[in-house]
């Protein structure tokens, strides 16, 4: 179908031709006889140059009265100009206002994160979330391509369940026609049933955790990708997880360079995401945490941060000294740079406050404990790419995890930890396939057997070794985009205390 207008993303196909664009005014600047309208349409941004002498009176009036986020139709000629956003410009012949926008709340000035989250429905129009959401789309597409090309079948697990997957303390309980039901923590148990029917499957859907956490890595509603494979063991599962992460990152690097640039992402860190990933047993990871090498690394990091802190404070002082004599454009640059400096100084201050505690925690880490956020962060600082930690103490893993035949204290589980301090993005492992073992586990964990009878059937009728994992979409995106908090990488985040918009 041929549309009666064109998209900004397609402008390279129309150089020298007349196009019709429909979108919203992102920004505007003016000088005598000229208006420079930055138009966005969801696919990109482009500068539209409105010259008073080249347009009719109605078009000039529409450009003159255009305010932030009003909807416009613009007709003009596409000109290639590498200096402009997107490498093109529109020499405007006609402008028409479609609808007004008065007192748009998100102005070009800085806003606090709570204000922006309260206006998330509008903030999504801004360039940073626009770039993040486009990367999210590419990651989702890459995931589907990865599994479909390898013969996996995508099937869906229910969101409403009658049993817990990973303990009952983080469940959202609801009344289900007089019965007790829960919002799903994971599609894994159902994926196991599907794998026994179809061999290789993956589920892709929302999951819910009711833990009252306010860390930057937590959401109460997030999306999980959970492949499950019959006849796979732990080693095969780790290899597949590594291939998946490499594929996702390569696809983002191939297709989202512009979006990564908007975010200021250091792509060299992503370019290092190549196989093989370092693999450590849980015991080796504990030994590394407690080592002198880790203590020295943290001390060196403290010194680097202190030096950066001094440089930034000196730059801020110098900028303030020059401010009074600076011209208007230079003052704007100084103001923008001060915001960046203050944000970075806040981050440094928090990290300097945390690092001595992290050093102490790492030095005194006890074998058998689960890794906390700081432990995962410190471990990944030793490497320039994701790492895989495997064979955890069985006591800290889920009831369905298969034991290591060489050491009954260990479970055949694995976590993939992202570099740069982003922590766990994948968790999984080999599932227990012995009926008697699972029955004993249900009893030991005091789980209601009747809710799991269907799950036990999978071990009664043709049980086989099988394995799988779950990839958290938002944690993976936060790492790839280089953003601090997962709330930025989902369109409408659900957090402790936030249910709107």
Cα–Cα distance for residue pair 265/162, rounded to 1 Å: 42
Cα–Cα distance for residue pair 307/300, rounded to 1 Å: 11
Residue 388, phi then psi, degrees to nearest 5: -115, 120
- Residue 340 confidence (pLDDT): 86
Two structure tokens written together for 430:
């080999």
- What three-state secondary structure class fits 106? coil
Rg (CA), the chain: 27
| pLDDT higher than 90, residue 235 | yes
The better pLDDT of the pair 164, 263 is held by: 263
The per-residue pLDDT for range 249-260, each reduced to its tens digit, is: 999 999 999 999
Q: Is the dihedral of CA 449, 454, 460, 464 positive or negative?
A: negative
| Rounded-to-10 torsion of CA 105, 111, 112, 115 | 10
The per-residue pLDDT for range 303-337, each reduced to its tens digit, is: 999 999 999 999 999 999 999 888 887 888 898 88
Q: Are strands 200-208 and 153-154 parallel, antiparallel or unpaired?
A: parallel
The mean pLDDT of 12-19, rounded to a whole number, is 97
Q: Which residues contact 319 (CB under 8 A, 6 or more apart)?
A: 334, 337, 338
Looking at the DSSP bridge assignments, the partners of residue 115 are none
Q: How confident is the model at residue 170 (pLDDT cuts 50, 70, 90)?
A: confident
- Residue 162 confidence (pLDDT): 83
Omega prior to 113 cis, within 30 of 0: no
| pLDDT higher than 80, residue 110 | no
The per-residue pLDDT for range 377-399, each reduced to its tens digit, is: 999 999 999 999 999 999 999 99
Nearest to 279 by CA among 338, 231, 225, 239: 239
The mean pLDDT of 436-454, rounded to a whole number, is 92
The per-residue pLDDT for range 467-496, each reduced to its tens digit, is: 999 999 999 999 999 998 999 999 999 998
The per-residue pLDDT for range 113-161, each reduced to its tens digit, is: 899 999 999 999 999 999 999 999 999 999 999 999 999 999 999 999 9
Cα–Cα distance for residue pair 498/492, rounded to 1 Å: 10
- pTM for the predicted model, two decimal places: 0.93
Rounded to 5°, the CA angle 267-272-273 comes to 100
- Residue 165 confidence (pLDDT): 64
Q: How confident is the model at residue 164 (pLDDT cuts 50, 70, 90)?
A: low
Cα–Cα distance for residue pair 444/403, rounded to 1 Å: 15
Looking at the DSSP bridge assignments, the partners of residue 227 are 202
- Residue 257 confidence (pLDDT): 96
The pLDDT > 70 percentage for the chain reads 99
Q: What DSSP assignment string belongs to 336-361?
A: HHHHHHHHHHHHHHHHHHHHHHHHHH
Cα–Cα distance for residue pair 106/27, rounded to 1 Å: 12
Helix (H) or strand (E) holding 456: helix 449-460
Cα–Cα distance for residue pair 378/294, rounded to 1 Å: 8
The per-residue pLDDT for range 259-278, each reduced to its tens digit, is: 999 999 999 999 999 999 99
Contact 113, 66 (CB under 8 A): no
Contact 20, 5 (CB under 8 A): yes
- Residue 421 confidence (pLDDT): 86
Cα–Cα distance for residue pair 67/107, rounded to 1 Å: 11
| pLDDT higher than 90, residue 7 | yes
- Residue 309 confidence (pLDDT): 97
Rounded to 5°, the CA angle 156-159-164 comes to 110
| pLDDT higher than 60, residue 167 | no
Helix (H) or strand (E) holding 425: strand 423-430
Nearest to 312 by CA among 351, 274, 347: 347
- What three-state secondary structure class fits 98? strand
- Residue 66 confidence (pLDDT): 97
Residue 376, phi then psi, degrees to nearest 5: -60, -40
- Residue 166 confidence (pLDDT): 61
Instruction: Write down the mean pLDDT value for the chain.
Output: 95
């Amino acid at each position: 179908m041929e549309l009666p207008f064109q998209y900004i993303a397609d402008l390279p196909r129309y150089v020298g031709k007349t196009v019709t664009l429909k979108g919203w005014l992102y920004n505007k600047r003016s000088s005598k006889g000229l208006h420079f309208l930055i138009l966005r349409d969801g696919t990109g941004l482009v500068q539209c140059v409105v010259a008073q002498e080249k347009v009719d009176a109605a078009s000039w009036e529409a450009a003159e009265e255009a305010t932030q986020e009003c909807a416009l139709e613009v007709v003009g000629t596409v000109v290639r100009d590498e200096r402009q956003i997107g490498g093109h410009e529109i020499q405007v012949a006609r402008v028409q206002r479609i609808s007004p926008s008065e007192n748009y709340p998100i102005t070009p000035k800085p806003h606090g994160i709570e204000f922006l989250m309260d206006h998330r429905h509008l903030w999504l129009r801004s360039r940073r979330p626009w770039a993040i959401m486009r990367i999210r789309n590419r990651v989702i597409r890459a995931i589907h391509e990865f599994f479909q090309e390898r013969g996996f079948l995508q099937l869906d697990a229910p969101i409403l369940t009658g049993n817990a997957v990973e303990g009952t303390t983080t469940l959202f309980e609801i009344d289900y026609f007089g019965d007790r039901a829960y919002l799903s923590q994971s599609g894994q148990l159902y994926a196991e049933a599907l794998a026994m029917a179809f061999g290789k499957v993956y589920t892709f859907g929302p999951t819910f955790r009711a833990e009252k956490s306010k860390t930057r890595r937590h959401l109460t509603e997030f999306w999980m990708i959970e492949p499950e494979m019959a006849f796979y063991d732990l080693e095969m599962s780790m290899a597949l997880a590594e291939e998946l992460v490499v594929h996702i990152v390569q696809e983002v690097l191939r297709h989202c360079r512009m979006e990564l640039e908007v975010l200021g992402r250091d792509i060299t860190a992503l370019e290092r995401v190549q196989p093989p990933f370092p693999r450590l047993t849980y015991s080796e990871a504990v030994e590394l945490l407690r080592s002198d090498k880790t203590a020295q690394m943290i001390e060196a990091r403290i010194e680097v941060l202190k030096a950066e802190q001094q440089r930034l404070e000196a730059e801020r002082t110098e900028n303030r000294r020059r401010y009074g004599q600076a011209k208007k454009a230079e003052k704007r640059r100084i103001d923008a740079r001060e915001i960046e400096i203050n944000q970075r100084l806040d981050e440094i201050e928090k990290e300097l406050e945390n690092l001595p505690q992290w050093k102490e925690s790492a030095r005194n880490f006890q074998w058998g404990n689960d890794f906390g956020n700081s432990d995962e962060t410190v471990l990944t600082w030793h490497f320039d790419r994701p790492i895989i930690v495997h064979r955890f103490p069985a006591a800290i893993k889920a009831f369905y995890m298969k034991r290591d035949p060489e050491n009954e204290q260990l479970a055949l589980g694995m976590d993939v930890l992202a570099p740069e301090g982003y922590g766990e993005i994948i968790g999984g492992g080999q599932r227990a396939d012995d009926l008697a073992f699972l029955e004993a586990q249900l009893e030991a964990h005091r789980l209601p057997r009747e809710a799991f009878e269907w799950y036990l059937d999978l071990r009664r009728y043709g049980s086989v070794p099988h394995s799988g994992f779950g990839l958290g979409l938002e944690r993976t995106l936060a790492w790839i985009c280089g953003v601090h908090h997962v709330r930025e990488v989902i369109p409408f985040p659900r957090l402790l205390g936030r249910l709107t918009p």
